[in-house]
Amino acid sequence: MTSLHADEAFLGHYQLSHDPFAPRVPGFKFFPAQRKPVLGQLHHLARYSQLLLVVTGPLGSGKTLLRQALVASTNKQSVQSVVVSARGAGDAAGVLRQVAQALDVSTAEPNAILKQVVQLGLTGQEVYLLVDDAEQLDESALEALLALAAGTPEGRPHVFLFGESSLIADLEQISGDQELFHVIELQPYEEEETREYLAQRLEGAGAGIELFTANQISDIHESSDGWPGTINQVARDAMIEAMIASRSAVKRPKMGFTMPKKHVLAISAVVVVAVAAAWLIPGRSKAPTTAGAPTEQAQLPLGKPTPNVEFANSGQPTNLPMVGQPVMRGPLAEEAGGISEGDDGVPVEGSSATPPTVTTTAPPAGVPAGQPAAVAKPTPTPAPTVATAKPAPVTKPVVAAPAPAAKPAPVPAAKPAEKPVTVAKAGAAGSGWYGSQPASNFVVQILGTSSEANAQAFVKEQGGEYRYFKKVLNGKPLYVITYGNFSSRAAADSAIKSLPAKVQAGKPWPRTVASVQQELAATR
């Protein structure tokens, strides 16, 4: 399945109104498991705590969704929410500039911003300052945000940072022994919560949880470790894999004992050539010619080099001897590593399925070879038919010495099916490479990061068959690192066990190339 029509095929196969596991879906409902208590805790701390609040979790843990829920659940009459992204503006100047612009402050400095916060407080409005991708903030930005969170006796904004766990170490280094921030770590879903989450997503798209078996749900939960973002990826990948498998089963031809018609025709053609050659070998009885009739003989050019016939999908021309060599077609030829048919099943022009008919006429005495001889009213020789007609008797047949049989090309050794496919040079965003691979193959997803520099550093450090591609998650770029290229899920699972311990610690999981191609198509 190509990425061009991947989404159409996916939705049509399962009769879905939309992709249930896309980041943005119509009528999305906030899933309360493991998140509603955190949302209530954030509202409580914003009212009673004087500390900067930090929400941490790995990529795909639902931090951005929680931030959106926090903004949506505040009273718009009494709270002004300012959302800042640290992506591309992780220093103090970039962060303060975004805050000042949102609050209509002319000077992007902490004191000027705090004065505006105090003025809004006098009108009964609080300020919520929410920073996404906070792990990308540098030291100067963290110091500026801690200063804003501390505020003044007259007023202060409520500062929320949403980022990965590496953010905590940076804040601890700046804070020293002071208690300046409070951390809330998001927790993954339990297996029952994963099942409920899948059911809610599928229901919104017009389907039900019955699309997954109990074993599949357990596998999805185990592969994703219960993190919602990864649950979306693994579940969608499982559905695409099942769709490809079902379509392959429908297209697979039924096996029987009847030889295909094209093979019968090819063998019949070989029999015709062999019968014609048998009638022309030396030692055959000679019959006198009719008086007055010109003498003609039909012969195969055994003494001449055999023509080179080039077939579709073959790298080199294949010698096609006229006599003494069986012609292999279809599955028989493929087993011997030989020639193959065209993609549409029609024999390639010039192939052995339609052997050429060669007829030569011996020149009369006195006429040099290569020049036409005038023959008065020649009697045509009837063409031989299979197993019934015999060629017209001839006199003095001229038969050249048989040509030596062409040596068969060596048959290449079969490659193990489970061996990873040789990969192209790694280290760059490989959207082109993923698009050129079979959709039914598998890769191992290692990790995802919001920083392309981190992805490049990881791939450079590991080398080998590691590569990454860029996708969009929750409206933001995400760089996903994968390993290898495998023909089956079993081969990918086996490869995971041989990865370095620190790579296995990230819980890598196999996914189809088709799912990667769909994500790349959605990103374009």
* The most confident of 209-213, 274-278, 295-299, 407-411, by mean pLDDT: 209-213
Which of 183, 227, 244, 221 has the alpha carbon at shortest distance from 59?
227
pLDDT of residue 449: 82
pLDDT over 80 at 194, yes or no: yes
- Quick one: pLDDT band at residue 282, thresholds 50, 70, 90? low
- Across the range 327-332, mean pLDDT stands at 37
pLDDT over 80 at 359, yes or no: no
- Quick one: pLDDT band at residue 400, thresholds 50, 70, 90? very low
Who wins on pLDDT, 286 or 498?
498
Who wins on pLDDT, 350 or 165?
165
- Quick one: pLDDT band at residue 424, thresholds 50, 70, 90? very low
Q: Which of 23-32, 277-286, 317-326 has the lowest mean pLDDT?
A: 317-326
- Other Cβ atoms less than 10 A from the Cβ of 425: the count is 8
Mean pLDDT across the chain, nearest whole number? 73
pLDDT over 90 at 476, yes or no: no
pLDDT over 90 at 96, yes or no: yes
Domain annotation for the chain: domains and CATH numbers: 36-185 (3.40.50.300), 270-279+297-344 (no CATH), 431-523 (3.30.70.1070)
* The most confident of 206-210, 346-350, 506-510, by mean pLDDT: 206-210
What tens digit of pLDDT does each residue of 136-172 get? 999 999 999 999 999 999 999 999 999 999 899 999 9
pLDDT of residue 421: 41
pLDDT over 80 at 361, yes or no: no
- Across the range 385-406, mean pLDDT stands at 45
pLDDT of residue 250: 56
- Across the range 203-211, mean pLDDT stands at 89
What tens digit of pLDDT does each residue of 220-264 get? 999 999 999 999 999 988 888 888 887 776 555 554 445 555 655
- Across the range 387-394, mean pLDDT stands at 45
- Quick one: pLDDT band at residue 394, thresholds 50, 70, 90? very low
Could you give the CA distance from residue 32 to residue 228 in angstroms, rounded to a whole number?
12
Q: Which letter, b or e, does each residue of 398-413 get, where b requires 16 or more Cβ atoms within 10 Å of its Cβ?
A: eeeeebeeeeeeeeee
Q: Which residue has the tokens 């489970």?
A: 418
> What one-character DSSP code corresponds to residue 350?
T
What tens digit of pLDDT does each residue of 33-75 get? 788 899 999 999 998 888 999 999 998 899 988 999 999 999 9
**Distance (Å) of CA 1 to CA 172, 245, 513, 515, 516:** 50, 11, 10, 10, 12
pLDDT of residue 491: 92
pTM of the model: 0.53
pLDDT of residue 501: 81
pLDDT of residue 128: 96
Who wins on pLDDT, 166 or 365?
166
Could you give the CA distance from residue 364 to residue 282 in angstroms, rounded to a whole number?
21
pLDDT over 70 at 351, yes or no: no
Q: Where on the phi/psi map is residue 366: left (φ > 0), alpha (ψ -120 to 50), or beta? A: left
Could you give the CA distance from residue 216 to residue 208 in angstroms, rounded to a whole number?
14
- Tokens of residue 398, six digits: 């001229």
pLDDT of residue 443: 92
Q: Which of 104-113, 354-363, 460-469 has the lowest mean pLDDT?
A: 354-363
User: Three-class SS of residue 417?
Assistant: coil
User: Three-class SS of residue 523?
Assistant: helix
pLDDT of residue 42: 93
Contact 113, 143 (CB under 8 A): no
- Across the range 322-334, mean pLDDT stands at 39
- Other Cβ atoms less than 10 A from the Cβ of 110: the count is 20
- Quick one: pLDDT band at residue 83, thresholds 50, 70, 90? very high
What tens digit of pLDDT does each residue of 294-323 get? 444 444 444 444 444 444 444 444 444 444
pLDDT over 60 at 373, yes or no: no
- Quick one: pLDDT band at residue 272, thresholds 50, 70, 90? low
